Amino acid sequence: MIVDAADYFRVARDAMLQAREQIMLVGWDVDPRIELDPENGDDDAPNCLAEFIPWLAKRRPDLRINLLIWNMGFIKMLARGLSVLTLARWKMSRHVRIHFDSSHPLGATHHQKILVIDDSIALCGGIDMTSDRWDTSEHRDPDPRRKRPSGISYMPWHDTAGMIEGEAAVVLGELARERWRRATRFELPVPTPHDGCWPDHVEPQFTNRDVAIARTVPKAEGIDEVREIEQLYVDMIAAARHFIYADNQYFASRRIAEAISQRLAEEDGPEIVIVNPISADGWLQEAAMGSARAALFFPLCDIDKHDRFQIYTPVTTAGNPIYVHSKLMIVDDRILRVGSSNMNNRSMGLDSECDIAITVEGDTSSDDAIRQLRERLMAEHLGTTPDIVARAFEQTGSLIGTIECLRGEGKTLVPFEPGGWSDATLAIGASELLDPESVDERWEPLSNRGLFRGFLRRGTRQIFDKVRARRARNRGRWKKKFRKFLEEHHLHRHRD
């Protein structure tokens, strides 16, 4: 697992340096102006992607580099200075092929983020090789390295991806080449896998494990719809015994909300913690996704009589928002998934997506590596250490209890509270007009749509006010119960 793009870009660069025959880069967006490893001084390879691609192609005569980018990426390129000229220079090399993929239904996007090298190693997650992505896990505020190629700073950015080798990497290579064939109608050769791609400085967290690959493929002429992403979300929620932890850019999926509501209604169901950004990236996305999140959040709070559901948003030491772009879910420290899919309707049936997942083998109750990853992520968000998170969880036996005991001033998690939405904006979110679940739903009358469709729809701000008061009392009980623990670890003011 790779957490945050500073490590992702470095690892991707090191892996590509070992490529022999084929690099497949499939992305929502690519910005050739980005620096892959701003602080690298260990080799002669360029750090700027614009120079790195032709440099690598020139030095490896047998290597073919293939970039497949969603076709809207070309529009973005026009606003990026000399980026169009950079692409033209890349295309002049017979070793580099670039194609902007338009082989998707009207209104859909190609949202997969996959890098496959020689079918030997593959990276799959939420990170595109584009601007506004690079950041370290410290999410410093400010950080002079976190700036666009134009020199303008951008907000702290949290993201995740997985890196795999072996048979699963071969399958992702096949997936990428099939995407290429649909987009260009040309077949790419199959490379010969080898053992030389895994970067020496990266210690694998899981070895000799089966890997599941889940996809969303929208229905199109001659192409059957695939909704494996949606089914995996539903199955993971149903399988939870104790807790679900998720980092995700959005929370707007009716199907996921319905699955969660069923577990919250149980007398002894699991805790569910979702880490979201405070708002979506852009006013239109916020109008669609933010209002849908509010419309789902109110009734879920109403169902949650046992206070087992909470959405948190991360902030920096100075209290500024950290944007969560990650798409990750952990269940009971037994099941881990990471990929490109958001918890919104589009990712279930309209946009192309790809996730990878692993689970414990045999009757093992949990996996130490998955547990350590969850503790690392929670510690990153709470501004503390994985050891403190582990000890607090051991004391509380609760994800929410652990967060409530450890959150405070500085870099921390803040409980999400829906803002004041106008009826018109809430109607946009509830209608799924900008976030349809499938190709067919794009043409449904608005009167037939809706986030709930039989799902309990009693959520109101008055209900949430009662829930907020109840949660405040619960937090007071958590703090009182574990005050001695907090004082022993100097955490009463969130300092360690």
The residue ranges of every structural domain in the chain are 2-184, 215-488
- Closest CA relative to residue 303, chosen from 340, 341, 269: 269
Whether residue 71 contacts residue 184, with contact meaning beta carbons closer than 8 Å, is answered with no
Q: What is the pTM of this model?
A: 0.91
* Superfamily of domain 215-488 in the CATH hierarchy: Endonuclease Chain A (3.30.870.10)
SS3 content of the chain, % helix, strand, coil (to 5): 35, 20, 45
Q: Between 464 and 68, where is the model more confident?
A: 68
Distances (CA, A) of 335 to 12, 164, 253, 347: 25, 16, 21, 20
Topology annotation, domain 2-184: Endonuclease; Chain A (3.30.870)
Distances (CA, A) of 417 to 69, 179, 278: 36, 40, 9
| Cα(333)–Cα(367) distance, integer angstroms | 6
Give phi and psi for 106, each to the nearest 5. -60, 130
pLDDT band at 302 (very low <50, low <70, confident <90, very high): confident
Tokens 């602080």 belong to residue: 39
Tokens 């100075």 belong to residue: 318
Mean pLDDT rounded to a whole number for the chain: 87
pLDDT band at 255 (very low <50, low <70, confident <90, very high): very high
Taking the CA atoms of 135, 136, 142 and 143 in sequence, report the sign of the dihedral they define: negative
How many residues are there in the chain?
Answer: 496
Is the model's pLDDT at 458 over the cut of 50? no
Average pLDDT (49-72) is 92
- Note whether 2-184 and 215-488 share their fold: yes
Give phi and psi for 366, each to the nearest 5. -155, 170
Is the model's pLDDT at 85 over the cut of 50? yes
- Closest CA relative to residue 309, chosen from 218, 403, 384, 392: 403
Predicted confidence at residue 43, as pLDDT, reads 80
> Which pLDDT tens digit goes with each residue over 407-426?
988 999 999 988 766 555 55
